C-alpha cells in the first residue's frame, strides 16, 4: 500500500482522493448533528453533506491551481517568494470565499424549499443568523489550508535549491576534470613547446588563451548564469587552442544574430563544443563542422556526425549533469536530436 502524502491527497485525478473528501464531509455532517442535537430530515442532512463536499472540492482545486501551478526557481529570493505567496494567498482567499458564499447560498435556498419558504426568505435568514459564524469558520479554514500550501511550496523551493547546489558541485568537478586532464594538458604543452621555437608570438597568444580559459572556469564555475557574450568569447578562445593544434580539421561557425541580452549557464557552451570534438573524427579531407546559432529562446549547437571508430572512454555525466542543472534553474529541458548526418543540442537560454 502506498504511503498517503499531502500531494497524493490533493491529487484530484485519483478517485481515492474524492472518496477521502466524501469521508471528511460525512464526518463534518456527523459533528454538526452531534452539536445540533435536533433530528433533521434525511434530505437536509444529504444537502449539508453535498454542500461540504462541493466546498472542499472547490477549495482544493483552487489551491492546486494557485499555489501548486508553478515551480519556483532556486534563484528566487526570500523577499520575492513571500511577495508572490502573499499575492496568491489574497487571490485564493477571495476566490474561494466567493465560491463558498455562492455554494452556501444555494444550499440555504434548497433548504428553504424543503422547509416550505422562498429563496428571499432563505437568503435573508442566512445573512441575519448564520453569516457571521459561517464567515469566521470559512475564513479560518481557508487561511489554514493556504498556509499548508505555502509551507509545502517553501519546502519544495528549499529542496530544489539544495539539489541545485549538489548538481553545481558535481558540475564544477566534472568541468574541471574534463579540461584539466592529462591528455588535454599534454597536447597543450606539446603545442606550446613547438611554437616557442617556430613562432614565439603565436606561442604567447596560445598561453594567453589557455590561461583565459582556466581563469574563466575558476571565476564563473560557481555562478548560476553568465552573459551569453562572455560565454561566446570563452568558446572562441577555447577553439583557438584547438585551431592551433588541428588547423583546418575543425571548423567553428558562430551566428551572433539573436544573442541580445540573454544569459546562459557558465561553461555550458564549452561542454557542448568539447563533446562534439571528443566524439567525432576530424581530418582535412572531412573536417568536423560545428555551428552555433540562436533559435528563439534556445542556443543551438550542431555538428556533422562522423563518429570515431574507437570512442573515447566517457563517464556519460557531462550532458546529463548539464541537462539536470538547466532543468533545475530554468524549468526547461535540454533537447538532444541525432540523425544520420547531424548531432544537435538545443540549450534553453536564461533571461
- Each residue's pLDDT tens digit, 215-264: 887 787 677 788 998 889 888 888 888 888 777 788 999 998 877 778 88
In degrees and rounded to multiples of 5, residue 12 shows phi and psi of -80, 5
Does residue 260 share a domain with residue 233?
yes
Does residue 110 share a domain with residue 54?
yes
Does residue 282 belong to any structural domain of this protein? Answer: yes
Of 118-127, 150-159, 335-344, the least confident? 150-159
Mean pLDDT of all residues belonging to the chain: 78
Does residue 222 share a domain with residue 147?
no
Of 77-91, 235-249, 255-269, 271-285, the least confident? 77-91
> Residue 81: pLDDT band by 50, 70, 90 thresholds?
low
Of 162, 188, 212, the position where a domain reaches its end is 162
Does residue 150 share a domain with residue 201?
no
Residue 344: its pLDDT value, please?
94
CA–CA separation, 299 and 227 (whole Å): 13
In which domain, by residue range, is 265 found?
180-348
Residue 32: its pLDDT value, please?
73
Q: Which grid cell is 129?
A: 443568523
CA–CA separation, 248 and 181 (whole Å): 24
Residues in the chain, total: 351
Does residue 112 share a domain with residue 36?
yes
Between helix 228-246 and helix 200-220 the angle, nearest 10°, is 140
Check pLDDT > 90 for residue 95.
no
Give the best-scoring range by mean pLDDT among 5-14, 34-43, 80-89, 272-281. Answer: 272-281
CA–CA separation, 122 and 61 (whole Å): 28
Residues 6+ apart with CB under 8 A from 53: 21, 22, 25
- Asked if 195 contacts 202 with a C-beta cutoff of 8 angstroms, the reply is yes
Q: Give the dihedral sign, CA 81/82/83/89.
A: positive
Check pLDDT > 80 for residue 67.
no
Residue 1: its pLDDT value, please?
44
Does residue 331 share a domain with residue 189?
yes
Does residue 199 share a domain with residue 119?
no
Number of domains in the chain: 2
DSSP state of 351: -
CA–CA separation, 235 and 301 (whole Å): 12
Place of cell 606561442: 203
Q: Give the dihedral sign, CA 168/174/179/182.
A: positive
Does residue 174 belong to any structural domain of this protein? Answer: no
Between helix 131-179 and helix 200-220 the angle, nearest 10°, is 150
Does residue 201 share a domain with residue 107?
no
Instruction: Name which of 204, 218, 211 is nearest 185 in CA terms.
Output: 211
- Greatest pairwise CA separation for the chain in angstroms: 108
Q: Which grid cell is 332?
A: 526547461
Does residue 321 share a domain with residue 191?
yes
Q: pTM, whole model, 2 decimals? A: 0.54
Give the CATH number, domain containing residue 222.
3.30.565.10
- Asked if 166 contacts 101 with a C-beta cutoff of 8 angstroms, the reply is no
267: left (phi > 0), else alpha (psi -120 to 50), else beta? left
> Residue 144: pLDDT band by 50, 70, 90 thresholds?
confident
Instruction: Name which of 49, 69, 59 is nearest 139 in CA terms.
Output: 59
Report in angstroms the alpha-carbon separations of 248 from 242, 262, 288, 342.
Answer: 10, 31, 9, 20
Does residue 300 belong to any structural domain of this protein? Answer: yes
Amino acid at each position: 500500500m502506498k504511503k498517503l502524502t499531502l500531494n497524493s491527497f490533493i491529487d484530484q485525478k485519483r478517485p481515492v482522493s474524492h472518496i477521502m473528501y466524501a469521508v471528511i464531509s460525512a464526518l463534518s455532517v456527523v459533528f454538526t448533528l452531534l452539536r445540533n442535537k435536533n433530528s433533521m430530515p434525511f434530505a437536509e442532512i444529504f444537502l449539508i453533506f453535498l454542500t461540504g463536499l462541493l466546498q472542499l472540492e472547490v477549495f482544493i482545486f483552487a489551491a492546486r491551481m494557485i499555489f501548486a501551478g508553478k515551480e519556483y526557481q532556486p534563484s528566487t529570493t526570500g523577499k520575492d517568494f513571500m511577495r508572490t505567496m502573499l499575492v496568491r494567498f489574497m487571490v485564493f482567499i477571495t476566490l474561494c470565499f466567493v465560491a463558498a458564499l455562492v455554494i452556501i447560498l444555494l444550499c440555504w435556498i434548497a433548504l428553504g424549499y424543503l422547509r416550505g419558504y422562498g429563496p428571499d426568505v432563505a437568503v435573508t435568514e442566512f445573512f441575519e443568523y448564520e453569516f457571521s459564524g459561517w464567515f469566521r469558520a470559512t475564513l479560518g479554514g481557508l487561511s489554514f489550508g493556504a498556509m499548508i500550501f505555502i509551507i509545502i511550496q517553501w519546502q519544495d523551493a528549499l529542496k530544489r535549491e539544495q539539489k541545485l547546489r549538489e548538481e553545481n558541485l558535481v558540475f564544477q568537478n566534472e568541468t574541471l576534470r574534463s579540461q584539466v586532464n592529462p591528455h588535454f594538458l599534454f597536447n597543450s604543452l606539446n603545442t606550446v613547446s613547438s611554437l616557442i621555437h617556430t613562432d614565439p608570438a603565436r606561442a604567447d597568444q596560445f598561453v594567453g588563451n589557455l590561461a583565459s580559459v582556466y581563469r574563466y572556469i575558476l571565476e564563473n564555475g560557481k555562478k548560476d548564469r553568465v552573459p551569453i557574450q562572455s560565454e561566446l568569447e570563452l568558446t572562441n578562445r577555447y577553439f583557438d587552442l584547438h585551431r592551433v593544434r588541428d588547423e583546418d580539421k575543425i571548423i567553428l561557425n558562430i551566428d551572433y544574430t539573436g544573442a541580445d541580452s540573454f544569459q546562459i549557464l557558465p561553461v555550458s557552451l564549452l561542454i557542448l563544443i568539447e563533446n562534439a570534438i571528443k566524439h567525432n573524427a576530424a581530418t582535412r579531407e572531412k573536417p568536423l563542422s560545428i555551428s552555433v546559432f540562436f533559435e528563439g529562446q534556445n542556443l543551438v549547437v550542431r555538428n556533422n556526425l562522423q563518429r570515431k571508430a574507437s570512442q573515447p572512454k566517457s563517464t556519460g555525466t557531462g550532458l546529463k549533469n548539464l541537462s539536470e542543472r538547466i532543468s533545475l534553474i530554468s524549468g526547461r529541458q535540454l533537447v538532444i536530436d541525432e540523425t544520420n548526418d547531424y548531432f544537435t543540442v538545443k540549450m534553453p537560454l536564461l533571461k
